[in-house]
Amino acid sequence: MLRALMSGDLPKGRQMMSSVNTREMNKSVMVSLFVYAVLITGVFGDRLTVLHAPQYVTFREGQWPISGEKIPDLVSLTMGFSVQEELGWPGLQVGPLFQRPRAAALLLVRGVDSLQFPQSAVSYPLENPVPFTLDSVSNTVHSLFADDTPVVLQLAPSEERLYMVGKANLVFEDLPVTLQQIKGRLSQEGSILTSLPLNSLSRNNEADLLFLSEVQVLHDIAALLLRHKHLAKDHSPDVYSLELAGLEEISRRYGLDSPQYRDAANILARALQKFAEDVSSIYGDNAVVEVVTVKSFEVPLTRKSRSILQSGQISNPGTKYNLAYSYNFEYSVIFNIVLWLMIGLTLAVIVISYNLWNMDPGYDSIIYRMTNQKIRLD
């Protein structure tokens, strides 16, 4: 028997049992890998992709998930600003203290969990994809660089939502904003329809026109920035935030497996890559361009209630709702500074007044002594 084992001449029954065990083991391994892949893609299907970043802003390669509500804090940290809470995400490495990007562009794409970008782009899983805005980043830039009037642009063409601050009103004065203006822009000179291969997309469909309008907006923003390239050389950083929902309308109209959806995804990926290259060139390789792809947002469940003791009087007469007055996160700091300063000054006044009231002229300064001598001489 030992000789048979050493020579490898096992009986046929045992050879069959070993081969069956090997096949079952391989099958279990493959099933485990498949289940793991399904779980990973199911939980972390949405992505955060960094298309371009300066050399001094380092994003580490890895699959560290980041929460959707932390995206504004991530943009603030890449711009060199401080945040209220520590990010605690290992994907962003600490950079130099005296270097910060001149621009940050965040592009939110709805309706797709990932796009085909070059391998040089760093990508991370996105968990808890809740709706977010860059209002905190815009407010920080506007408050710190109010004298330099930085360019702040937040645009959502599908919702006709626009927010511009500073020099953005000058740069994007001719930018079409409403859907009617953007659709009219597609028929004008310099439209992307003259050079863009539409393939299965149609100019007569409303969903296709919405998608093409957003691609046209990307092209027009880069063209307007190139026309005002001198504004990118100032000391104030600029912020761009765009929300693109055209691909989501394409998926609703044709389906995820349709050729229209595949063609639109490829067109959008190339347009975003071209936009990142243009912005990087305009700002002299000192811009951070990030893309967030979200299949669908997770709207948190909220419980609405009303107290029976609620007062009918409106606390803020400036609004028709019973809203409290807004204050910033530095309110507690300013309150403590004013409170303890007033307490210190009050105690100082009390102590000084008490000492002055009980002052003995015989032990006082030269004023009383000179007065006494003057009286004696007189």
pLDDT at 80: 87
CB atoms under 10 Å from CB of 318, counted, come to 7
pLDDT at 232: 78
Question: How far apart are alpha carbons 177 and 134 in whole angstroms?
Answer: 19
pLDDT at 85: 84
pLDDT at 29: 45
Its pTM surpasses 0.85:
no
Question: How far apart are alpha carbons 349 and 369 in whole angstroms?
Answer: 27
Q: Quick check: is 300 in a domain?
A: no
Q: Quick check: is 266 in a domain?
A: yes
Q: Quick check: is 353 in a domain?
A: no
CA distances from 372 to 219, 355, 363, 375, 377 (A): 90, 22, 13, 5, 9
Is residue 162 within 8 Å of 257, Cβ to Cβ? no
As for how many domains the chain has, the answer is 1
Question: How far apart are alpha carbons 372 and 358 in whole angstroms?
Answer: 20
pLDDT at 192: 86
Per residue of the chain (378 residues), give pLDDT as tens. Answer: 444 434 445 444 444 444 545 555 555 544 444 434 333 433 447 889 999 999 889 898 888 999 888 999 999 999 888 888 888 888 888 878 778 899 999 999 988 888 888 888 899 999 888 888 888 888 888 888 877 778 888 888 777 788 887 778 778 888 887 878 888 888 888 788 888 888 888 888 888 888 998 899 899 999 988 888 887 777 888 899 999 988 999 999 898 899 999 999 999 999 999 999 999 999 988 999 999 999 887 655 444 444 434 444 444 445 455 555 566 667 788 889 999 999 999 999 999 999 888 877 666 565 555 555 555 554
- For 12, phi and psi rounded to 5 degrees? -65, -35
Alpha-carbon Rg of the chain, whole angstroms? 33
Q: Quick check: is 19 in a domain?
A: no
Question: How far apart are alpha carbons 16 and 14 in whole angstroms?
Answer: 5
Q: Quick check: is 316 in a domain?
A: no
How many CA within 13 A on the CB side of residue 144? Answer: 16
What single letter denotes the amino acid at residue 207?
A
In terms of residue numbers, what domain contains 118?
A: 46-294
Q: Quick check: is 198 in a domain?
A: yes
Q: Tokens 């998930």 label which residue?
A: 65
pLDDT at 97: 75
Question: How far apart are alpha carbons 294 and 111 in whole angstroms?
Answer: 6
Question: How far apart are alpha carbons 93 and 60 in whole angstroms?
Answer: 7
pLDDT at 367: 57
Q: Quick check: is 360 in a domain?
A: no
CA distances from 78 to 104, 216, 254 (A): 8, 28, 38
Q: Quick check: is 268 in a domain?
A: yes
Element (H, E) at 291: strand 287-294
